[in-house]
Structure 1
Amino acid sequence: MAEQPVEAYYSAIDEGRYDDLRALLASGFVHDRPDRTIDGPDTFVGFMRDDRPLTDTSHALDAVCANEDDSEFAVRGTLLDADGDPLFGFVDVHTVENGAISHIETFTN
């Protein structure tokens, strides 16, 4: 099922399972964020593990919507701090190819 990697992506980040996160990403993975573009799955995992400003966060997902062929998923949610307080809302658009996430574009408010 194509939706599984998208939901597993957030769990892997929230639980600090970086090997599992890497396994979800395609070899040509790119993440376009409001503040930067991260090119490559290993660079992305390194950023999530070592360089992101807050690592004790969790993602509360409000909605996961797929297109007809399950190749794109829009995920709406809120990033929560360690106390469960909202930091900001987000929408991530995931592109899934051959069961792996190849691209994410993030929008925040």
Structure 2
Amino acid sequence: MTDRAAERARSYYRALDEGDYDALAALLAEGFVHDRPDRTIEGRDRFVRFMREDRPQKDTGHRVDAVFEAGSGTGDRDADGTAGTDRERVAVRGRLLAADGSAITGFVDVFSLVEGRIERIETYTD
């Protein structure tokens, strides 16, 4: 795992928790996709707008418990099945916390990064 990919993942949560939507946008690739249990959000601008304006709870925090190497390399495939570019992957295990510090849910986010930008996040919750 590269330190860069892990730091980008941590920066993602920091931007969300601090409501720093410019920083959030700067971390994401233009064609960013977020696959989550309740929906799929496609496009950087659409995702940032959802987080800024439409997410059900904005006063939450993310507690990162662990960051894991999830693989990388040129053998990966893009969503359309074609050979992928070099990408980095990390998985983050953590908890989404309410404003009072109580746990809302546990999660694992799998990040795919290309050229240092977050291209995709797949979220799994308990």
- TM-score scaled by structure 2? 0.83
Identity of aligned residues (%): 56
Q: Which residue of 1 aligns with 2:79?
A: none
**Partner residue of 1:84?**
101
- Of 61-70 and 21-30, deviating more is 61-70
Counterpart of 2:41 in structure 1 is: 38
Per-residue Cα deviation, 1:44-94 (whole angstroms, up to 9, x for no partner): 000001000000000001100123547111000000000000000000000
Alpha-carbon separation, structure 2, partners of 1:104 and 1:41: 12
Q: Call closer, same or farther: CA 1:67–1:107 in 2, change over 3 Å.
A: closer
Gaps of 5+ in 1: none
C-alpha distance in 1, partners of 2:30/2:69? 22
Where does residue 22 of structure 2 map in the other structure?
19
Kindly indicate whether the alpha-carbon contact (under 8 Å) linking 2:91 and 2:109 is maintained by their aligned counterparts in 1. yes
User: 2:6 maps to what in 1?
Assistant: 3
Aligned length: 109
Bigger shift: residues 25-34 or 68-77: 68-77
Deviation at 1:30, TM superposition (A): 0.2
Alignment of 1:32-71 (within 5 A): 32-69=35-72, 71=88
Select between 64-73 and 40-49 the one with higher mean Cα deviation.
Answer: 64-73
Distance of 2:107 and 2:6 partners within structure 1: 18
